[in-house]
């Protein structure tokens, strides 16, 4: 080969090297060529931009990158020299706090020994920041998802509870006891006897039992035994055949047939005639009945919930109610407390009942004066929640503005205790019991805010004189 050919070949190699250097200098990737001691023997221009250092060559890579005294833990180049494989790592530089992706590629000699490692370093800080932000958002979203799931479970529980006890407003221990009893018995098919005064909400309890039972999607049929005449009550309960009596021009299904697979609520059960009591007992025992005027037995699957405001033990003792029927119904008794036994529920009830009444009357009530609420809490409510609802409706109608004003008839009506209901009392006795009830409500305090005199709208001296006259002691 001549000198001219050698020169051409050298020039060609030089041009190729220059071209390669130019290409490498324009890459967005920094390149480092390292020897087995991790010393930099070559670098492209991008590395100098990433890690400006005039004396780059001859230094250890970990000194150049982070001014460290020893290699990084898990260094990709150390691993490449050790096993001859390619290794990749992402890390955040502790000097400039930027993120880099480093690829270590082993370079071997003809005997397969690793003599150099080429490190390709790419600045991925922008991408990494996006990924970190994404991961942060995903973490927050997962936390939010978990919170929403927990809230969803809670809200479902709350919705279930509000549906189960719709209308049963209050947080008193007396009402909580009722709710606990409902929750215990609802999932069963046991008969339930609900006891309580007029207006306490016995039907609400019955509906709560049904709505939380396995029969909740089945019919809830009710019948008020006191509202039907004795000669028609059997027809209402068991139905009648066409022509069974004068007015029976069509076949009629009774409440038992309508309630089949569901719940039958027998309100005022104590008012059933004894003849009908015997037939009812037969249905409860055998699960079948006959329509009035018919002879064919009809099977039925009905859960019975009965209610009464009377003392059924007393009715049994007096011979007006069958003992065997009473025992059959009294499998699981629930006594609903009167309103005077849960006075702390009255503010919540007032708010709830006002919200239900406003749309019907077309008047908005924004506030209930504190003094008026004290009067409502001090009253004994012989008619219970039903009476409270009626009083509030009457008061909303007569209120002149959006502030509730109690109707005059309640203010002037003597407040009497439950012990006196149904018995004749002198005006003096009514006053005595009312003052005693208000004193109890005021914790024995006569004057001052929340005192009995303020609740009764009397001067403290007038109240003391009246107490002395009536023989009342605090």
One digit per residue, the tens of pLDDT, for the chain of length 474 reads 555 555 555 555 545 555 555 555 545 788 889 999 999 998 888 888 888 887 888 888 888 888 888 888 889 999 999 999 999 988 888 888 889 889 999 999 888 899 999 999 888 888 888 888 888 888 888 887 876 765 565 445 444 444 445 567 888 898 999 999 999 999 999 999 999 998 899 999 999 999 999 999 998 989 998 888 877 888 888 887 876 666 766 778 888 888 889 999 999 999 899 889 999 999 998 888 888 877 787 888 999 999 999 999 999 999 999 999 999 999 999 999 999 999 999 999 999 899 888 888 888 999 999 999 998 998 888 889 888 988 898 889 888 889 998 875 554 444 444 433 333 456 667 777 788 877 876 777 788 776 788 777 778 888 888 888 788 876
Structure tokens at 321: 């109610």
Q: Are 39 and 58 in contact (CB under 8 A)?
A: yes
Nearest to 168 by CA among 348, 415, 312: 348
Which residues are registered as beta bridge partners of 42? Answer: 33
d(CA 105, CA 420): 100
Q: Are 40 and 64 in contact (CB under 8 A)?
A: yes
Which CATH topology does 178-337 take? Answer: Rossmann fold (3.40.50)
First vs last C-alpha separation in the chain = 133
What pLDDT score does 421 carry? 37
298-308: burial string, b at 16+ Cβ within 10 Å, e else: bebebbbbbbb
Residue 261, Ramachandran bin (φ over 0: left; ψ between -120 and 50: alpha; else beta): left
Q: Looking at the chain, which residues constitute the CATH 3.40.50.300 domain(s)? A: 178-337
Instruction: Enumerate residues 6+ apart whose C-beta is below 8 A from 293.
Output: 240, 241, 242, 243, 244, 245, 248
Q: Number of C-alpha atoms within 13 angstroms, CB side, residue 425?
A: 18
What pLDDT score does 160 carry? 46
Q: DSSP letter at 239?
A: -
Nearest to 242 by CA among 253, 234, 231: 253
Structure tokens at 294: 């018919």
Which CATH topology does 341-470 take? Answer: Helicase, Ruva Protein; domain 3 (1.10.8)
Q: Looking at the chain, which residues constitute the CATH 3.30.450.20 domain(s)? A: 3-123
What is this structure's pTM? 0.54
CATH of 3-123, one of 3.30.450.20, 3.40.1390.10, 3.40.50.150, 1.10.150.390: 3.30.450.20
Nearest to 303 by CA among 185, 129, 405, 134: 185
Nearest to 292 by CA among 265, 328, 257: 257
C-alpha dihedral sign at 342, 344, 345, 347: positive
What pLDDT score does 114 carry? 92
Instruction: Enumerate residues 6+ apart whose C-beta is below 8 A from 330.
Output: 191, 193, 312
């Amino acid at each position: 080969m001549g000198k001219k050919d050698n020169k051409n070949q050298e020039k060609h190699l030089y041009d190729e090297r220059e071209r390669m250097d130019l290409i490498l200098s324009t890459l967005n990737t920094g390149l480092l060529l390292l020897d087995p001691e991790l010393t930099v023997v070559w670098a492209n221009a991008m590395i100098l931009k990433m890690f400006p250092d005039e004396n780059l060559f001859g230094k250890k890579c970990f000194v150049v990158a982070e001014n460290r005294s020893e290699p990084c833990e898990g260094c990709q180049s150390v691993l490449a020299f050790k096993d001859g494989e390619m290794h990749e790592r992402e890390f955040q530089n502790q000097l400039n706090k930027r993120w880099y992706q480093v690829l270590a590629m082993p370079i071997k000699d003809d005997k397969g020994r690793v003599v150099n490692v080429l490190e390709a370093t790419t600045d991925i800080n922008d991408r990494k920041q996006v990924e970190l932000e994404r991961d942060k958002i995903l973490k927050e979203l997962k936390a939010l998802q978990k919170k929403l799931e927990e809230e969803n479970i809670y809200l479902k529980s709350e919705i279930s509870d509000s549906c189960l006890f719709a209308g049963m407003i209050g947080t008193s221990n007396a009402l909580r006891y009722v709710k606990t009893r409902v929750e215990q018995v609802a999932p069963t098919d046991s008969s339930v006897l609900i006891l309580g005064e007029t207006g306490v909400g016995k039907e609400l309890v019955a509906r709560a039992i049904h709505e939380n039972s396995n029969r909740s999607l089945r019919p809830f049929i009710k019948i008020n035994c006191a509202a039907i005449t004795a000669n028609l009550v059997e027809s209402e309960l068991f139905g009648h055949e066409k022509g069974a009596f004068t007015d029976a021009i069509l076949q009629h299904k009774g409440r038992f047939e309508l309630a089949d697979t569901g719940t039958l609520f027998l309100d005022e059960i104590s008012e059933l005639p004894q003849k009908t009591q015997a037939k009812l007992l037969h249905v409860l025992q055998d699960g079948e009945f006959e329509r009035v005027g018919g002879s064919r037995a009809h099977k039925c699957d009905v859960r019975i919930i009965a209610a009464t405001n009377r003392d059924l033990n007393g009715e049994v003792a007096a011979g007006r109610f069958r003992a065997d029927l009473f025992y059959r119904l009294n499998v699981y008794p629930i006594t609903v407390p009167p309103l005077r036994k849960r006075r702390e529920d009255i503010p919540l009830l007032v708010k709830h009942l006002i919200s239900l009444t406003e749309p019907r009357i077309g008047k908005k009530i924004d506030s209930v004066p504190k003094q008026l609420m004290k009067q409502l809490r001090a009253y004994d409510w012989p008619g219970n929640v039903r009476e409270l609802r009626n009083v509030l409706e009457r008061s909303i109608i007569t209120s002149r503005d959006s502030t509730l004003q109690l109707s005059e008839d309640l203010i002037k009506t003597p407040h009497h205790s439950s012990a006196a209901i149904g018995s004749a009392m002198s005006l003096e006795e009514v006053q005595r019991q009312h003052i005693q009830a208000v004193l109890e409500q005021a914790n024995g305090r006569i004057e001052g805010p929340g005192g009995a005199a303020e609740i009764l709208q009397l001067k403290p001296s007038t109240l003391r004189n009246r107490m002395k006259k009536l023989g009342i002691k605090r």
